[in-house]
Amino acid sequence: MPLIRSVPRILPSVLVLTGGLVPLGGATLERLTLDDLIAKSTAIVQGKVTSSYASFHGPIIYTHYEVQVSEQLKGTSGPSLDLVVPGGTANNLRQIYSGAPQLNLGGEFVLFLWTGPSGLTQIMGLTQGLFRLSPGDSSGVVVTRTASTELMLEAGTSRPIRDETLVMSLNDLRARVAERLGGTAAP
């Protein structure tokens, strides 16, 4: 009889332990259009990453990036800002978050940002709000947002959809932001 009574207690433990061995999928994101990014961002800046470090905020490690702001397209900030991306290495512990963008030191970006109630400034939609700057042809500087490899859901329907890479000139992006905000494009 003792064996039969212990099975009900052991079974939930075994299920929990084996459930922990199943590999987990990546992040699931709601796909944000460029207009969504513009509307939902608390700030949009062009800037260059000048330094980084990782630290704990509660149980989560965030990598902090110092960004030297060269142009403010929406919102207000000082000449530099601190933004965070989930994941990093602190106190010999490493956390990895699927879909979290990687910013390289010296890299130049247009960043669609939001500041939450915690006061931490983050990139909208993980990689969706990160546009890399690169020299273009005669049209000038080009911004590129690489398609996310994470599962994306269509807003409103929650159907899985494929993300797409977005490439445009920096001037076209400036004009689109200004148009959506009801102003005029910067020269």
How many structural domains comprise the chain?
A: 1
Whether residue 159 is contained in a domain is answered as yes
Give the span between the Cα atoms of 74 and 111, in whole angstroms: 10
Whether residue 12 is contained in a domain is answered as no
* pLDDT band with cut points at 50, 70 and 90 for residue 52: very high
Whether residue 86 is contained in a domain is answered as yes
pLDDT tens for 147-164 read 888 888 888 888 998 889
Whether residue 3 is contained in a domain is answered as no
Residue 138: what pLDDT?
67
Whether residue 4 is contained in a domain is answered as no
Whether residue 93 is contained in a domain is answered as yes
Give the span between the Cα atoms of 47 and 130, in whole angstroms: 11
Enclosing domain of residue 153: 26-180
Whether residue 11 is contained in a domain is answered as no
pLDDT tens for 90-132 read 999 999 998 899 899 999 999 999 998 989 999 999 999 999 9
CATH code assigned at 73: 2.40.50
Pairing of strands 28-30, 151-153: parallel
Residue 29: what pLDDT?
74
Q: Which residues are paired to 28 by β-bridges?
A: 151
Burial 130-161 (b: 16+ CB within 10 A, else e): bbbbeebeeeeebbebbebebbbeeeeeeeee
Whether residue 7 is contained in a domain is answered as no
Kindly state the tokens that stand for 51. 């330094």
Give the span between the Cα atoms of 63 and 86, in whole angstroms: 6
**Residue 115 DSSP SS3:** strand
